[in-house]
Amino acid sequence: MNSHKGPIRKIEEALKAVHRRGEDFLVSASWNEKVMRAVRSIAVQPAVSRFDPAGYGRLVWRFSAATCLIALALAAYAVTSDLSTASSVTTLFFEDPIGVDLVHSLGIG
Amino acid sequence: MAAGITEAPSGQLFRTTRAETITICRSDHSERRDSRVDHQSVEPDDARIIQRVLSGEVNAFELLLEKYRGMVFGIVLKHVPHESAEDVAQDVFVRAFQSLGGYASRSSFRHWLATLAVRSCYDFWRNRTKNREVPLSSLTEEGQKWLDEALAPQSREAFLEHTARQEGKGVLRYALDRLSAEDRMVVSLIHLDELTVREAAKMLGWGVVKTKVRAHRARREMHRIILEMMERGSKQP
């Protein structure tokens, strides 16, 4: 492609110039009416039927950053505090403080 | 701002202008830079009309429709085929009406509506590439000839005259039709309309990094398509 760089650029420039050229467009006389009809039909719909899944999606994403931050903060707290889930589970498995032989009941002993 | 509107007996004639999208973006940026401009750009009429619409006076929305339809058509006509322009422009205003409650008057209504227009165009191409019910345009013999002539050495005037020919539109359509919806919008906004990456990102609602990466890939893809067209021309007897 490198050997064609010059010609490609030239075509690209020509296409850019084509894009910049204005073109006439005739909007139909009834277009305004059509849009207003659509708008009025939305306006008279009850609010319940105006379910907007995209809007809910946006709402979820809006809170995603805060959720991640909270998760990170909790993880940091768990790492720096004395709470050790792994050691608790190990104690539960091998010291059997509640009197149930978990290791055998799970069939791994 | 209503892109060269001329009254016509059966409707209204719009002329698409390249400057439309750019002006919308740039004006928004200058608003933030200069408080004097910001003050001037505040349109109390819009705020009043929006308030009326929100309080249940639906017919007042027609005032906004009348005021901004030129701008919306100016943007839409740059990005979608003319036969779909009315539907997409209608979608822009319907979306605007539906989201009017969520419109924060921090940015100008004009810019907010322009962003909706660009996103509606993007959705149009996403739906079209997903469904693929419309066949891709083909490169005609005239289009191929136009390409060959564009490569020939010529004066600036001859070059501009050449680009004014209708065949050029066909070649541009052929090339853009081969891009994905994302690439197409990025090529149109950044490479053809010459918006900055930041401006385009804001219009599309993407991150700046994503837009930058996409713009780079899209341009490479566009170059591949152009090369393919050139090679096809050189193979023809």
| Whole-angstrom distance, CA of residue B197 vs CA of residue B211 | 6
Residue type, B142: E
Q: Inspect the interface and report whether the beta carbons of A22 and B62 lie closer than 8 Å.
A: no
Two tokens, residue B117: 């227009």
pLDDT at A28 over 60: yes
Residue type, B112: W
Higher pLDDT, B84 or B43: B84
Residue to substitute from A3, A4, A35, interface B, most B β-carbons within 10 A: A35
Residue to substitute from A10, A12, A16, A18, interface B, most B β-carbons within 10 A: A18
Mean pLDDT of B6-18: 49
Mean pLDDT of A15-43: 87
What residues are paired with B15 via a beta bridge? A24
**Which stretch of DSSP H or E encloses residue B13?**
strand B11-15
Q: Inspect the interface and report whether the beta carbons of A14 and B163 lie closer than 8 Å.
A: yes
Task: Classify residue A99 by its DSSP letter.
Answer: S
The pLDDT tens digits for A7-26 are 888 888 888 888 887 777 88
pLDDT of residue B11: 52
In the predicted model, what is the mean pLDDT of chain B? 79
Contact list in A for residue B224 (CB cut-off 8 A) is 1
In this structure, the number of other CB atoms found within 10 A of the CB of residue B41 comes to 15
Are B187 and B222 a contacting pair, CB within 8 Å? yes
- Nearest beta carbon to residue A27 from set B14, B58, B175: B14
Q: Inspect the interface and report whether the beta carbons of A50 and B62 lie closer than 8 Å.
A: no
ipTM for the complex shown: 0.72
Two tokens, residue B37: 């401009």
pLDDT of residue B198: 93
pLDDT of residue A34: 95
In the predicted model, what is the mean pLDDT of chain A? 76
Residue to substitute from B227, B228, B229, B232, interface A, most A β-carbons within 10 A: B227
Closest-CA distance, A73 to chain B, in angstroms, reads: 25
Confidence category of residue A53, pLDDT binned at 50, 70, 90: low
pTM for the model stands at: 0.68
- The torsion defined by the Cα of B178, B81, B129 and A15, in degrees rounded to 10, comes to 20
pLDDT at B200 over 50: yes
Contact list in A for residue B82 (CB cut-off 8 A) is 23, 25
pLDDT at A31 over 90: yes
Higher pLDDT, B164 or B87: B87
Confidence category of residue B4, pLDDT binned at 50, 70, 90: very low
Of the candidates B48, B231, B8, the one whose C-alpha atom is nearest the C-alpha of residue A3 is B231
Contact list in A for residue B66 (CB cut-off 8 A) is 32
Closest-CA distance, A60 to chain B, in angstroms, reads: 16
Are B142 and B168 a contacting pair, CB within 8 Å? no
Confidence category of residue A109, pLDDT binned at 50, 70, 90: low
Write out the E strands in A1-109.
24-28
Confidence category of residue B39, pLDDT binned at 50, 70, 90: very low
What residues are paired with B11 via a beta bridge? A28, B8
Two tokens, residue B29: 């940026």
Q: Inspect the interface and report whether the beta carbons of A32 and B69 lie closer than 8 Å.
A: yes
Higher pLDDT, B182 or A84: B182
Q: Inspect the interface and report whether the beta carbons of A11 and B226 lie closer than 8 Å.
A: yes
Q: Determine which of A19-33, B33-47, B49-63, B67-81 has the lowest per-residue pLDDT on average.
A: B33-47
Mean pLDDT of A18-40: 87
Closest-CA distance, B192 to chain A, in angstroms, reads: 5
Confidence category of residue A102, pLDDT binned at 50, 70, 90: low
Task: Classify residue B4 by its DSSP letter.
Answer: T
- Collapsing DSSP to helix, strand or coil, A109 comes out as coil
- Nearest beta carbon to residue A25 from set B77, B90, B162: B77
Closest-CA distance, B133 to chain A, in angstroms, reads: 24
Angle between helices A5-20 and B141-151 (to 10 degrees): 110
Q: Give the β-pairing of B6-8 and A24-28.
A: unpaired
Angle between helices B141-151 and B208-235 (to 10 degrees): 100
* B228 contact partners, CB below 8 Å, separation of at least 6: none
Closest-CA distance, B227 to chain A, in angstroms, reads: 7
pLDDT of residue B95: 94
Are B185 and B118 a contacting pair, CB within 8 Å? yes
Q: Determine which of A48-62, B104-118, B181-195, B222-236 has the lowest per-residue pLDDT on average.
A: A48-62
Please give the C-alpha separations between residue B73 and each of A75, B1, B14, B234, in angstroms, as whole numbers: 51, 11, 7, 39
Confidence category of residue B68, pLDDT binned at 50, 70, 90: very high
- Collapsing DSSP to helix, strand or coil, B138 comes out as coil
Mean pLDDT of A102-109: 62
| Whole-angstrom distance, CA of residue B19 vs CA of residue B37 | 19
pLDDT at B100 over 70: yes
Sign of CA dihedral B109, B111, B116, B121: positive
